Amino acid sequence: MNRDHRDGALALRNKVSETTDKGYRRAREILQAARGLLAGEGYAGLSMRTVASRVGASLSNVQHYYPSKDLLLEALLSAMREEYQQQIDSISKPDAGASKLQQFEAVIDYLLDETADIEGSAVLRELWALAVRNTMAAEILQKMLDAAQKTLRKQIKSLSPELAPSDCETRAVLILAHLQGLTLILANPRTSPRDSKALKAAARAAIVQLATAPVAACLYP
């Protein structure tokens, strides 16, 4: 499969011309339109023609970047995965002005904010459903989870060096499960901003406790 169709932001990276910048912008516009459709209408409602209509382009123009619906979906999900990882990597960079705990809290705050994002969470929920029957979606979802789990595992080990690797792994998995479950509440339009803020603060405290509590605390069997 052509790698250029896997990454929307880099869809034209091998085409050097005067229209390259315009091509990059168009590729991003197409992915943004696809993201909105996937969030609002689900996979069944993700139509190449509707995407073309939303960006004011012809169907053939959209197909120039993404020849099929599945390639468009793959590019969208891959771009989202890379964006999440870039943000987490940026937050996790060594910083003389931030302690290890502060860095960990910043990562959790970012993940909680993403969990509360209505459109982004809708896309992720659709991805979870697709992963049951779509191999490509399952692979991308697993890569997203693996990357987040790896980051959390490393940060937990940094915060609590005495923990065994398996213990760090278990805690990272539990934290991810915690965040995924919160999606149903934080991304619910009926949840008031005040309740959302309070829930985020409580979730953050619980996650920090889970990451830093000694084994003797017996947080889980």
* 188 Rama class: left (phi>0) / alpha (psi -120 to 50) / beta: beta
Q: Are 60 and 120 in contact (CB under 8 A)?
A: no
CA-CA-CA-CA torsion sign (11, 17, 21, 27): negative
**With contact defined as beta carbons under 8 Å apart, do 66 and 30 qualify?**
yes
| pTM score | 0.80
Residues 12 and 59 in one domain: yes
**126 lies in the same domain as 69:** no
Tens place of pLDDT per residue across the chain (221 aa): 333 333 444 433 333 343 467 788 899 999 999 999 999 999 889 999 999 999 999 999 999 999 999 899 989 988 888 888 888 888 877 765 778 899 899 999 999 999 999 998 999 889 899 899 888 889 888 988 898 899 899 999 999 999 999 999 999 999 999 999 999 899 998 999 999 999 999 999 999 999 998 875 545 55
Same domain, 160 and 210: yes
Domain that holds residue 141: 94-221
Q: Among 75, 106, 137, where does a domain finish? A: 75
The number of folded domains in the chain is 2
- The Cα 10–Cα 164 span in angstroms is 40
Block residue for tokens 């939303």 = 54
- Rounded Cα distance, 44 and 215, in Å: 46
34 shares a domain with 5: yes
Q: Which residue has the tokens 């890569």?
A: 143
Please report whether residue 87 resides in a domain: no
Summary mean pLDDT of the chain:
85
For residues 202 and 99, membership in a common domain is answered with: yes
**Secondary structure class of 10 (helix, strand, coil):** helix
Q: For Cα atoms 103, 108, 10, give the angle at the middle one, nearest 5 degrees.
A: 90
Residue 31 to residue 10: CA distance in whole angstroms: 12
66 and 99 belong to one structural domain: no
- 13 and 71 housed in the same domain: yes
